[in-house]
A and B are shown apart, each in its own frame.
Chain A
Amino acid sequence: MGNCTSLQPLQFRRLALFLSLAFKAAVLIQQWYRRYVARLEMRRRCTWRIFQSIEYACEQDQIKLHNFFSYLMDHFTPSSSKERDFISRMFISGESFKEAELEKYCDYESMEVPDSYTGPRLSFPLLPDHATALLEAFKQKQQLHARYVLNLLHETRKHLKQLPNISHVSTCYSEEVTVCGDLHGQLDDLFFIFYKNGLPSPSKSYVFNGDFVDRGKQSLEILIILFTFLLIYPKEVHLNRGNHEDHMVNLRYGFAKEVMQKYKVHGKKILKMIQNVFCWLPLATLIDQKVLIIHGGISDTTDLDMLQKIQRNKVGWSFPSGSGRRCRSKSSGAASWWTASRSQRSPPIPILDILWSDPMPQEGCRVNTVRGGGCYFGPDVTDKILEKYNLQFLIRSHECKHEGYEFCHNRKVLTIFSASNYYEIGSNRGAYVKLGPDLVPHFVQYQASKTAHTLTMTQRISRVEESAFRALREKLFAHTSALISAFKAYDKDNTGKISLSSWAMAVESVLHLGLPWRMLRPQLVRSTVDGMLEYKSWLDDLAMEQRSQEHIQSSLLEVIYRNRSNLETIFRIIDRDHSGLISFEEFRQTWKLFSTHMNIELTDDGIDDLVRSIDFNKDGNIDFNEFLEAFRLVKQSQVCLQMQSREREGRYL
């Protein structure tokens, strides 16, 4: 603006005025902008809370399902051999084959690979070239022939069998160990890790800390790659079992479905083998006797010596039963097949703790009611175990973290999570951690989606937020009847309106999600009259969003939505040959049993309506994938995943 000393007094005054105005203007803009950013931050945290609480609520569903089975076991006396067969199928699906039977059933040697097959061909013992061929093939979206998949699984099983429950890694051999957390079928993240950090090799050790499968769409590819590297570099590659390396969990969370879709003919064999291989996965890894790596966490009774001795392969069903830590089997004069099934009900508590526990800020150790298995362990428990075994710190996974990793308990517990964009594109980063001989952790964070980088912070947050609220509105719809009762309790004069304060309290009392409802209200309740909400029309609006089938009773639809996840799991259990079809009769029986247990009032007409809306020309069979999709019961997350995989064409940066 020129040299001040040469200014005329008038110009000087004008300059001073402008500068003071500029100052004030700047303050105003900064003030306004900082408020905008703070609101964004609040929205981001609320969105996170929504996803987490829904995710954990779903895990609770699994417990309800188990309670349903327990209820059946305890109260249901099959009145015909048909009914007995039907029930037994629900339980014996967890059985493990005897070794010889398994080999015979999952035989691959007689399988021929046609000349037209252009994918990788594996021969054993595997070599590094096979690994690179596989990586390249999967990048090109090719599929490995079933014969090689089964062969690989057989060899993997042979290898895992000779491993102890707790693997030992030393930083003497390879200077550096890289630890990765949950991958959940997100192959792009694994590609990124290998790209950034290098492939496993004699000078590059890796520990993969469980939850390789479920939710993401490329769980099988991840398993194939991990098992391949495991066999090529047995000294350098270590795998820990996670709570998702489990057949029942796989039925619910998508892995079983993925395998059956990709391998229509041999899928069942592949699943059976994988089920067995999962049982043989080690439970923990120790680095230099100083750092303990487990998937979930610990408890105040964790005993490494005992853990070392447990027969880990007997735990076919890693999933906890809902009836608490001490399972009492009630005898009801049942036949031997009842008691045989019962003994499979719950795995040993030490294993549950390792696979399912979560750290908490408060001291102590209490039952993990959210997950239904394992416990919440406090900093005092961590200290106790670290001291007992002369350890420096714990590494675990199991919980999604916004930055891909997080310390707690005074930096003595590290959570590492390697699936980026886990809830939605832009929701979180993934990370892996490297440890050298000094055992000082170095982190690398990433977000394996080109889209995430091109979005501004606002767009990223908005997008994740939209997704979270969609899921939340669906949950609200699924509890319509309970909500109406709760609202009416606040509307004694029957005006049809309640205050927003009452709304918040009512919603929490029904959903039990522990969410900050008053903060979320502007996104959920669009219109109010004098600060009061007309709740019936609000619920009607929610219903309109969800309704895809006009003629089905709204209450029935609500029931289906509320129990969607359980229904799907039950279908898959009944469908033993994984054909995707169950008979109409089976469907009716399932539905009847289920509704009796859940105290759902449903007329036979209601069921018939349901069935009539399904295309029924399959010899009295129901294709339940069609059923689920027809009612838009495909999880929103699956829709999002489809969007994600389309966007992942751009891969990583």
Chain B
Amino acid sequence: MASRKDGAVAEIEKKIIEAFEVFDHECNKTVDVREIGSIVRSLGCFPTEAELHELLAKVEEEEPTGYINLEKFLPVMTKVLLDRSYQPIPEDVLLHAFEALDENKCGYITKEELIKYLTEEGEPFTEEEMEDMLSTALDPETNTVRYRDYISMMIVDET
């Protein structure tokens, strides 16, 4: 007997399977462990790296093979979505984060400062990640990131 709740769960499962299959190159219900982050995030979640590692521990095999099986991934991910873990970061919270790094409260962060914070603090960016963010965020004339404008632009892009 299909209850309304079951229907919702079934739909969530279908979504997860779809996302998984996009990265399943060999068509054998496995994905490279390094793609799990992309899959989880594209399903609407915002985990930190630490949270991602926790999740991986639940879905990896006892002896890690470098691959994750759909069989193990599906129930764990379904629970994540039902519990609404790894909530999205609202625009205003993101803004506060940038403002916290803007010591002088002038509305922008210099390139050097941003690089320092994001590659040395928190869960550091790789050089590639930093370069990529700067390519969109940096105002080349002033060599600064005007974070309010940046956030507005990115939010529009998302929808």
A contact residues vs B (CB 8 Å cutoff): 18, 21-39, 41-42, 45-46, 49, 361-362, 456-458, 462, 501, 504, 516-519
B129 touches A37 (CB 8 A): yes
A36 CA to B42 CA in the complex, in Å?
8
A36 touches B94 (CB 8 A): no
A45 touches B22 (CB 8 A): yes
The secondary structure that dominates the A interface is helix
Residues from chain A with a CB closer than 8 A to the CB of B122 are: 23-30
Residues from chain A with a CB closer than 8 A to the CB of B28 are: 361-362
Select the residue from B10, B21, B42 with max chain A CB neighbours within 10 A.
B42
Nearest Cβ distance between residue B71 and chain A, in whole angstroms?
18
B21 touches A36 (CB 8 A): no
A41 touches B42 (CB 8 A): yes
Contact of B14 among A30, A49, A518 (CB under 8 A): A518
Beyond A23-B122, A42-B22, whether A31 also contacts B101 by CB under 8 A is: no
Interface string of B96-114 (1 = CB under 8 A from A): 1110110100000000000
B42 touches A457 (CB 8 A): no
User: Beyond the given A26-B123, A35-B45, A517-B18, could you list 4 further A-B residue pairs with CB under 8 A, ordered by the A residue number?
Assistant: A22-B100, A35-B46, A39-B42, A519-B42
Residues from chain B with a CB closer than 8 A to the CB of A21 are: 100
Residues from chain A with a CB closer than 8 A to the CB of B124 are: 30
Residues from chain B with a CB closer than 8 A to the CB of A27 are: 48, 121-123
B136 touches A516 (CB 8 A): no
A458 CA to B157 CA in the complex, in Å?
9
Residues from chain A with a CB closer than 8 A to the CB of B93 are: 28
What's the tally of chain B residues with a CB closer than 8 Å to chain A?
A: 49
Residues from chain A with a CB closer than 8 A to the CB of B46 are: 31-32, 35
The secondary structure that dominates the B interface is helix
B27 touches A362 (CB 8 A): yes
A41 CA to B45 CA in the complex, in Å?
15
A504 CA to B101 CA in the complex, in Å?
44
Within 8 A of A (CB), among B1-53: 7, 10-11, 14-15, 18-19, 21-23, 25-28, 37-42, 45-49
A25 touches B100 (CB 8 A): yes
Residues from chain B with a CB closer than 8 A to the CB of A46 are: 22
A554 CA to B11 CA in the complex, in Å?
34
Residue on A nearest B117 in the bound complex, by CB: A26
A516 touches B154 (CB 8 A): no
Residue on A nearest B21 in the bound complex, by CB: A516
Contact of B41 among A34, A49, A361, A457 (CB under 8 A): A34
Residue on A nearest B24 in the bound complex, by CB: A361
A41 CA to B43 CA in the complex, in Å?
12
A38 touches B22 (CB 8 A): no
B48 touches A31 (CB 8 A): yes
Residues from chain A with a CB closer than 8 A to the CB of B7 are: 501
B136 touches A456 (CB 8 A): yes
25 A-B pairs with CB atoms under 8 Å apart are A21-B100, A24-B97, A25-B117, A26-B101, A26-B123, A28-B94, A28-B97, A29-B98, A29-B101, A29-B122, A33-B133, A34-B49, A34-B129, A35-B46, A38-B41, A39-B41, A39-B158, A41-B38, A361-B26, A362-B27, A501-B7, A501-B11, A501-B14, A519-B15, A519-B22
Nearest Cβ distance between residue A248 and chain B, in whole angstroms?
31
Residues from chain B with a CB closer than 8 A to the CB of A32 are: 46, 89, 94
Beyond A31-B48, A361-B26, A457-B132, whether A26 also contacts B18 by CB under 8 A is: no
Select the residue from B27, B41, B101, B103 with max chain A CB neighbours within 10 A.
B41
